[in-house]
Amino acid sequence: MDEHLTARCTPSSGRLKYLRHLHQVPEIPKSELARLEEVARQYPFRTNTYYIGLINWSEPKDPVRQIIIPRREELNDWGSLDASSESLVTVSHGIQHKYPHTVLLLCNEICGGYCRYCFRKRLFMDGCNEANLDVREGLRYIADNPDITNVLLTGGDPLMMSTRRLVAIFAALREIPHVRVIRIGSKMPAFNPWRLLGDNELQQALQMYSEPRRRIYLMAHFDHARELTDAAVEGIACFLRNGVICVNQCPLIRGINDDPAVLADLFQQLAWIGCPPYYVFQGRPTAGNQPYSVPIVQGWEIFREALRRGSGLARRPRFVMSHKTGKIEILAVDDTRIYLRYHRARDEEDRGRVMAFRRDDAAFWLDDLDPWDNEPPMFEPSPLLEMSDGLL
């Protein structure tokens, strides 16, 4: 990282200041402010002094700027707020159960920052009540369903909750024998590395509840290597020291990581720090996200080229889309077809299904594609393809 950026993004104390209004960011030109505030009224803005300090304002296409600062094009009429129909798998307030072994607890409704391309931005908008700060109902649901082995804490960002609440959830989940994995879906290692580094109580809780046969996983979210500051890397090291398994997942985002060299660099650096890439997501067609979206074919070409670079540990992610019917892996693209496979499926009969669709370079989502020969073929799943289907 450039020296001047390092100096700006290092906090002078243990507390960061959170910013919720664009006029608190003096680098935004006054000529743009009114229009961007109109965007922020529709899709809220939030960041902090550390993360905003990573922006090189002399570079208009700075990737961190693209992640956190609104763009006028977000107001284009495009997509829907619940692009993957999460409402269909919401079994109770704040509880999503899409796949047999995994449950999502939407236990918080804010994040350390609001990524402009967020697929769940509806949670941060007025009138939304999908997250549930009271997880007791979710815990009862999990306890009553012995097939559930994985619980993902999400929202919103669970690491924005108090340590007291987090530890209470860890303790309650460890009282349920069939829960083997607790996952924390969080971008706080990028937004505020000191959330863990400065909290001895949370570190001790991770040591206690990430057991040798029942681990806690951090599902980290770094989109660009510029977010991997010295503090962020030390934050990941702190998770590892305290017994947490770390992996990274991120979407493919126009203007941020839609370049094979940029994506390969991210993969490589993540592998080096012990937080290897896990999933790369095709961006959901969410309202407001048009300026950040990459077509499927272009995304596949970027992803494929990125995988050609670097060592084996940097070549582990799958390129998937989280469709309402399941997690669909993009396997390959040739001159005429796009090949997809259900890596995870909501309906059991779709599990492992391999499908062929007509190649469409303008398509962004499964629903945009036309089946090859009118009926997507179904092949017998290969055991090699089924080996890693145990996780969400």
pLDDT, tens digit (0-9, with 9 covering 90-100), for 142-175: 999 999 999 999 999 999 999 999 999 999 999 9
pTM, two decimals, is 0.92
Q: What is the mean pLDDT of the chain?
A: 93
List alpha helices for 273-370, DSSP H.
296-307
Distance CA 222, CA 268 (A): 12
Q: Could you tell me the two tokens for 319?
A: 């390129």
Q: Give pLDDT tens digits along the chain (392 positions).
A: 444 444 345 554 457 999 999 999 999 999 999 999 999 999 999 999 999 999 999 998 999 999 999 999 999 999 999 999 999 999 999 999 999 999 999 999 999 999 999 999 999 999 899 999 999 999 999 999 999 999 999 999 999 999 999 999 999 999 999 999 999 999 999 999 999 999 999 999 999 999 999 999 999 999 999 999 999 999 999 999 999 999 999 999 999 999 999 999 999 999 999 999 999 999 999 999 999 999 999 999 999 999 999 889 999 999 999 999 999 999 999 999 999 999 999 999 999 999 999 999 999 999 999 999 766 555 545 444 444 444 44
Distance CA 30, CA 248 (A): 36
Q: What is the pLDDT of residues 360-381, one digit of tens each?
A: 999 999 999 999 976 655 554 5
Q: Which long-range contacts (CB under 8 A, 24 or more apart) does 121-124 make?
A: 121/43, 121/44, 121/81, 121/286, 121/287, 121/288, 122/81, 122/82, 123/155, 123/156, 124/43, 124/44, 124/46
Q: Could you tell me the two tokens for 305?
A: 């080229």
Distance CA 180, CA 182 (A): 7
Q: Which domains can be identified in the chain, with CATH numbers?
A: 3-75 (no CATH), 86-386 (3.20.20.70)
Backbone angles phi, psi at 4, to 5 degrees: -65, -30
* Residues 6+ away with beta carbon under 8 Å from 31: none
Q: What is the pLDDT of residues 185-241, one digit of tens each?
A: 999 999 999 999 999 999 999 999 999 999 999 999 999 999 999 999 999 999 999
Torsion angle, alpha carbons of 135, 138, 140, 142, to 10: -130
